[in-house]
């Protein structure tokens, strides 16, 4: 038996045969709520074209931007003849504005806090409006050329005060969320999903009802579900919460708090930003610590559970606030924020790596008059559109992406 074994081994060696390969290992599958490190590429925000003037008006209000595959749309509120009004501007892919801004809201009405999305045939502009004061959500349609389609119409009715809409789209349906102050002075966050004919897919969903003020919400479509994030605030801001909705807008699971037990400051406006990178959420927020506003970032799971400790961004001596986030592909997020040092107010733009660290040298943006605040982002095929505001108007910046400089 021993001789036979030796003879077989010698025969195998002479024949050049190899032993059979070891059995294949089963692929590793990440358990739920474990951070997945993105392979990613070392891309950076490289430069910005010269800013273009979108609007010149005194102290513009809330501003939003969106991309439809061919051009950007910027919407904002502005006071004209003592009437708060909502405006729309088309920005071409090269950053130019082909025609003057369009007043979306009607005259002799009050309008503010616009949001915008593309519904495959036209731009849908949602805003807070009313005859003598704002109190309901309205919708207006604008063509791809920047012309109005009919008159705005009211989306909500009742005794409650409906304000601060946020929208997102799947391409065929539109998600809408907003804050409301009830007749009993409590605050709520509502949401619903509309089909292409603006018909609700399901009854109205109440996501939150609280004695605390609820700040403006953000809405995302992850490809599987809707995600609404909002701020709860009393004498100070308590945190950023996440509510998940199914495809027709019904609440899924429980509401989760994504930040720590309490974050400082009393201002809820433009306090946070959230984006979905295909696997997890990136959450950025500004917080008052040690008498100075600072910027923080963390990863959050698809269920709304924190995956990492808060990471402070920015540099020493910088007042950082008003974050904006957008996904740029390959699991990468782009962050813009308002930066103030020694009275110099500008906007910084940076890609974040898989740990949430910004690039070494962020791109600095300044508006037409040298000041830039409160950025809004929308990603195109080869660039990022950034809208910024100042006391005298709104500017548009086209930021290009590429490989980081060594």
**How far apart are the C-alpha atoms of 393 and 76, rounded to whole Å?**
10
**Distance from CA of residue 182 to its chain's centroid?**
27
Confidence band of 29 (pLDDT split at 50, 70, 90): very low
Confidence band of 401 (pLDDT split at 50, 70, 90): confident
* Torsional class of 131: left (φ above 0), alpha (ψ -120 to 50), beta (otherwise): alpha
Token pair 């809408």: residue? 176
Cα-based distances in Å from 168 to 64, 73, 217, 371: 12, 14, 12, 29
Tokens coding 120: 């495959």
Which CATH architecture fits 37-403?
6 Propeller (2.120)
Q: Give the CA count within 13 Å in the CB-facing half-sphere of 323.
A: 30
pLDDT at 405 over 70: no
pLDDT at 179 over 70: yes
53 C-beta neighbours (distance < 10 Å), count: 15
38 DSSP 8-state letter: P
- The domain segmentation of the chain, as residue ranges, is 37-403
Reduce the DSSP state of residue 387 to 3 states and report it. strand
User: Which residues are paired to 48 by β-bridges?
Assistant: 399
Tokens coding 12: 């195998």
Confidence band of 27 (pLDDT split at 50, 70, 90): very low
Reduce the DSSP state of residue 11 to 3 states and report it. helix
The alpha carbons of the chain give a radius of gyration, in whole angstroms, of: 25
Look at residue 346 in the predicted model and tell me its pLDDT: 94
Confidence band of 392 (pLDDT split at 50, 70, 90): confident
**How far apart are the C-alpha atoms of 388 and 271, rounded to whole Å?**
16
**How far apart are the C-alpha atoms of 138 and 152, rounded to whole Å?**
6
Tokens coding 305: 């559970």
* Torsional class of 117: left (φ above 0), alpha (ψ -120 to 50), beta (otherwise): beta
pLDDT tens digit sequence for 84-111: 999 999 999 999 999 999 999 999 899 9
* pTM of the predicted model as reported, rounded to 2 decimal places: 0.86
Q: Which residues contact 125 (CB under 8 A, 6 or more apart)?
A: 75, 86, 88, 104, 114, 115, 116, 139, 140, 141, 142
Token pair 């605050």: residue? 187
pLDDT tens digit sequence for 247-294: 999 999 999 999 987 787 767 667 899 999 999 999 999 988 877 888
What mean pLDDT do residues 325-329 have?
Answer: 92
Confidence band of 36 (pLDDT split at 50, 70, 90): very low
């Amino acid at each position: 038996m021993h001789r036979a074994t030796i003879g077989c081994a010698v025969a195998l060696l002479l024949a050049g045969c190899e032993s059979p390969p070891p059995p294949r290992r089963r692929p590793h599958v990440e358990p739920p709520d474990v951070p997945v490190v993105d392979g990613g590429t070392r891309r950076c925000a490289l430069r910005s074209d010269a800013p273009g003037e979108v609007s010149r008006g005194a102290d513009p209000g809330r501003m939003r931007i969106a991309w439809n595959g061919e051009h950007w749309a910027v919407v904002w509120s502005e006071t004209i003849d003592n009437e708060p009004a909502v405006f729309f501007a088309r920005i071409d892919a090269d950053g130019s504005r082909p025609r003057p801004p369009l007043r979306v809201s009607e005259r002799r009405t009050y309008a503010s806090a616009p949001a915008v999305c593309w519904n495959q045939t036209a731009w849908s502009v949602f805003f807070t409006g009313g005859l003598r004061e704002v109190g309901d959500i309205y919708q207006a349609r604008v063509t791809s050329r920047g012309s109005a389609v009919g008159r705005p119409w009211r989306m909500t009715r009742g005794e409650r005060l409906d304000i601060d809409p946020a929208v997102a789209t799947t391409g065929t349906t539109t998600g809408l969320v907003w804050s409301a102050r009830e007749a009993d002075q409590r605050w709520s966050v509502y949401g619903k999903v509309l089909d292409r004919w603006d018909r609700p897919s399901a009854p109205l969903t109440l996501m939150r009802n609280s004695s605390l003020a609820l700040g403006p919400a953000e809405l995302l479509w992850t490809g599987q579900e809707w995600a609404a994030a909002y701020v709860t605030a009393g004498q100070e801001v308590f945190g950023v919460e996440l509510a998940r909705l199914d495809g027709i807008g019904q609440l899924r699971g429980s509401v989760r708090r994504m930040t720590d037990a309490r974050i400082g400051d009393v201002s809820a406006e433009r306090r946070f930003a959230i984006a979905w990178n295909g696997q997890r959420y990136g959450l950025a927020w500004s917080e008052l610590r040690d008498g100075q506003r600072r910027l923080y970032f963390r990863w959050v799971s698809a269920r709304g559970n924190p995956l990492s400790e808060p990471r402070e961004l920015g540099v020493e001596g910088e007042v950082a606030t008003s974050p904006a986030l957008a996904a740029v592909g390959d699991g990468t997020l782009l962050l813009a924020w308002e930066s103030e040092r020694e009275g110099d107010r500008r906007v910084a733009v940076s890609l974040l790596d898989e740990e949430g660290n910004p690039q070494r040298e962020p791109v600095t943006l300044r508006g037409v008059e040298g000041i830039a605040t409160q950025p809004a982002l929308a990603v195109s095929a080869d660039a990022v559109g950034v809208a910024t505001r100042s006391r005298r108007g709104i500017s548009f910046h086209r930021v290009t992406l590429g490989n980081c400089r060594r």
